[in-house]
Structure 1
Amino acid sequence: MIERFHLAVLTAIEQQGTLTQAAESLHLSQSALSHSMKKLEQQLGTPLWEKDGRKLRLTRAGKQILLLAKRILPQFEHTEALLKQIAKGQLGTLRIGMECHPCYQWLLKVVAPYLERWPNVDVDVKQAFQFGGMRALFDYDIDMLITPDPLFISGVEFIPVFAYEHRLVVAADHPLATRAHITPADLADEILITYPVEPQRLDVFSQFLSPAGCGVKQHKRIEATEIMLQMVTAGRGVAALPGWLIEQHAQQMPLTSLRFGEQGIMKQIHVGIRNGDTKIEYISDFIRLAKQTDANYG
């Protein structure tokens, strides 16, 4: 019935729009492609596309098969790539997606010994998947997702690798610097600097300000940690960052960190993988090393 070829054809139809262009993209003749798909339509008892002017438009049945193609084809491609690497004496490439802005230096500390232990495994870090990594994990674009905000859903396993406290960092001469902890109201007149993430995914909003019905004077977004901390040092605002990151920079910069409320905001960095991938030895060993690596890099 439905074969991989059919999935590839419907994907090409969606991408190219016409039968001629789809056939060219697959290096097939238009007649061969058309004949194969008509045979499938006869077996299914329903058309898979219809003409819309010069373009082809997928029917409801065609769109349903296209959804299957988007799930299955990346798995085929991923497996074939691994088999080619195995044939060359390589184990593969561990592709890591990052949803953690400040974790890159920590990750380097994990990767260094990992590459020594696994000379036949390459590592590729994809920061383009920041804050959208779940889709990439399901689509086999990455093998592992590093995130402080796991989504516990079917098909994915999240493993905690280290715990930390999320804290407010201020300049050493800031009026709040002598406080042990702050209340949500204390930030009402402050400029809050964060990474470029939507507020609902930022712990300072979701776990601290929003539940109290409070806000800030202004919310600025800066991607580079070093620039963010320079802004804080210069009195241009305050920032919410992992405690271990603040401690490292506070050794060279006049910074002080405070707890959010009396209880603080406690977090964990997780490694997310597809169910069953812990059986892959080079993946499970990476997770083991990640658990052993101290986030307080220096």
Structure 2
Amino acid sequence: MLERSHLAILREVDRCGTLTDAAERLCLTQSALSHAIKKLEQQLGTTVWVKEGRQLRLTRAGHYLLGLANRLLPQFEHAEVLMQQYAAGQRGTLRIGMECHPCYQWLLKTVTPFLAAWPDVDVDVKQAFQFGGMAALFGYDIDVLITPDPLFKDGIAFTPVFDYEQVLVVGNGHPLASKGRVLPEQLASETLISYPVEIDRLDVFNQFLLPAGCSPKQHKTLETTDIIMQMVAAGRGVAAFPNWLVDEYRHKVPVTPLRLGAQGIQKQIHVGVRADDNDLDFIQGFIEIAHQSNNLRA
């Protein structure tokens, strides 16, 4: 009764908004598309959408099927790509999703030896787009999730692979540069620069400032690590970064790292994979090489 083509139609209608545009995307006539859904509705005994002018509004049944389409179709599409790669003698592509803005430099230290060790596996890194890492894993949009903040759920296995400390970065001429560490209240007169992500995902806020009831004088966001570091070096603000990343930049720009509080903020980079894929040899190979990255600091 319910076929993959029905799910594909529902997904495209939801994406396009009209039957005409969806039919064009699916290389079908509008009448063929309408007939397919009408036949499905007759078989199911319920409607999946109602027309409101040129637009379509999904019914409760339609919303359920749309959710099913968004879960299942990416898995079908991923499987087809894999089968094509297997048929061509390839192992496939390891699709890596990044939930950590500054982790790109760290990832390079893992990807380079991984590609050398696994010549029949390609790598695709999704770094720039904003996505829900867990949803991307469950939806088969990515195979591996790199994150410092894992959400432990059934079906996903997380492995810690890299230890680091989150530190505050100030310019060498900043009054705090000689202190070695900083207290939350000392940022009350500072401009704090961060990546453009939610505050509750920024360790300097949720593990340092907010528990102490403190806030910076101003909070600015910038997208690139290089520009943030240059701003900090020029005395335009302070920022929080992993200590290993600061070590790399200290050779390029005049900045100084400071411990956040008496104990510091200790973090780990985790690699998350679907539990069903956790025993794949090349995924285990990636995790093993990621473990070794602790010894690959620049």
Q: Same fold (TM over 0.5)?
A: yes
What's the TM-score, normalizing by structure 2? 0.92
> Whole-Å Cα distance in 2 between the matches of residues 295 and 220 of structure 1?
34
Matches within 5 A, 1:25-36: 25-36=25-36
1:268 aligned partner: 268
Residue 31 of structure 1: how far off its partner (Å): 4.7
**In terms of mean alpha carbon deviation, does 193-202 or 19-28 score higher?**
19-28
In structure 2, list runs of 5 or more residues that go unmatched. Answer: none
Pair 1:155-2:155 in alignment? yes
Matches within 5 A, 1:127-166: 127-130=127-130, 132-166=132-166
Q: Look up the SS of the partner of 1:140 in the other structure.
A: coil
**CA 1:172–1:6: 2 relative to 1, 3 Å:** same
**CA 1:42–1:130: 2 relative to 1, 3 Å:** closer
Matches within 5 A, 1:7-86: 7-86=7-86
Show CA shifts across 1:1-53 (max 9, x none): 31212111222332344445434432334454444433322332212222222
**CA 1:185–1:10: 2 relative to 1, 3 Å:** same
Please tell me whether the aligned partners of residues 171 and 234 of structure 2 are also in contact (alpha carbons under 8 angstroms): yes
In structure 1, list runs of 5 or more residues that go unmatched. Answer: none
**CA 1:154–1:165: 2 relative to 1, 3 Å:** same
> Whole-Å Cα distance in 2 between the matches of residues 79 and 270 of structure 1?
26
Please tell me whether the aligned partners of residues 98 and 130 of structure 1 are also in contact (alpha carbons under 8 angstroms): no
> Whole-Å Cα distance in 2 between the matches of residues 262 and 251 of structure 1?
26
1:225 aligned partner: 225
What's the TM-score, normalizing by structure 1? 0.92
Q: Look up the SS of the partner of 2:220 in the other structure.
A: strand
- Identity level (%): 63
Show CA shifts across 1:172-199 (max 9, x none): 3322122232211111111212222222
1:241 aligned partner: 241
**CA 1:56–1:232: 2 relative to 1, 3 Å:** closer
Q: Look up the SS of the partner of 1:279 in the other structure.
A: coil
**CA 1:182–1:22: 2 relative to 1, 3 Å:** closer
1:171 aligned partner: 171
* Runs of 4+ displaced beyond 6 Å: none
Residue 262 of structure 1: how far off its partner (Å): 0.9
Please tell me whether the aligned partners of residues 245 and 296 of structure 1 are also in contact (alpha carbons under 8 angstroms): no
| Amino acid in the other structure paired with 2:22 | A
Pair 1:210-2:228 in alignment? no
> Whole-Å Cα distance in 2 between the matches of residues 24 and 230 of structure 1?
49
Q: Look up the SS of the partner of 1:276 in the other structure.
A: helix
Q: Look up the SS of the partner of 2:146 in the other structure.
A: strand
- RMSD, aligned CA: 2.0
2:95 aligned partner: 95
**In terms of mean alpha carbon deviation, does 150-159 or 241-250 score higher?**
150-159
Residue 215 of structure 1: how far off its partner (Å): 0.7
1:291 aligned partner: 291
Please tell me whether the aligned partners of residues 248 and 296 of structure 1 are also in contact (alpha carbons under 8 angstroms): no
